Amino acid sequence: MEEKLQDLETLEQEDIRQGKYMTFCIGSDVFGIELKYVNEIIQMQQIAPIPEVEHFIKGLINLRGKIIPVIDVADRFGKQLFEYNDRTCIIVIDVQNVVVGLIVETISEVVSIEEEDILPPPNVSKANAQAKFIRGIGKIGDHVKLLLDPVKLLSDNSLDFAEKQEEDEEE
């Protein structure tokens, strides 16, 4: 009975998050990530660097005893790097049981975007690093948000160590 109640609570939480996106800024660009992937938002923390990984993987943080890799989203997308400050945040996401922190310049807001207001991503040059991670373009009035596909973002080969680390912790 208790298990069924927990399943019902989980379904209700997922339903509440349906169509909602956490938006954040990197420079003048506004991105969104579906709220169902967001575990929490934390202040910037001390990062332990990892040798011989991609430049955008900044290292590891210790979040209440759990070791989490962090990625600088601006660096990942080839954007101009920014100096970390008191507004810099880490969005902790969980995608298919892989937990990763995304370093972003600032958090904007949580917005609701109906599925019919999401346009497919434009077919742009493959040289554009961020294009392959865009799920769609969310229209909110006169504004647009670039909606990330976290599954594609984390399924990139350069992040294989994050999944391996998750498996190591379970052993």
Other CB atoms within 10 Å distance of the CB of residue 1: 5
Cα dist from 143 to 26, 31, 117, whole Å: 16, 12, 11
Is pLDDT above 80 for 4? no
Residue carrying the six token digits 């909602």: 20
Q: What is the dihedral of CA 25, 30, 31, 34, to 10 degrees?
A: 100
- What is the mean predicted confidence (pLDDT) over 14-42? 88
Give kind and range of the element (H or E) at residue 31: strand 29-34
At 129, list the tokens: 């690093």
pLDDT of residue 121: 80
Specify whether the CB–CB gap between 132 and 51 falls below 8 A. no
Name the average pLDDT for the chain. Answer: 81
Task: Quote the DSSP letter at residue 48.
Answer: B
Is pLDDT above 50 for 99? yes
* More reliable by pLDDT, 99 or 171: 99
pLDDT of residue 157: 57
Could you say which of 3.40.50.720, 2.60.40.1170, 2.60.40.1260, 2.40.50.180 is the CATH number of the domain covering 20-170? Answer: 2.40.50.180
Is pLDDT above 90 for 143? no
Assign 129 a pLDDT band (cuts: 50, 70, 90): low
Beta bridge partners of 42: 90
Question: What is the residue extent of each domain of the chain?
Answer: 20-170
Q: pTM value?
A: 0.79
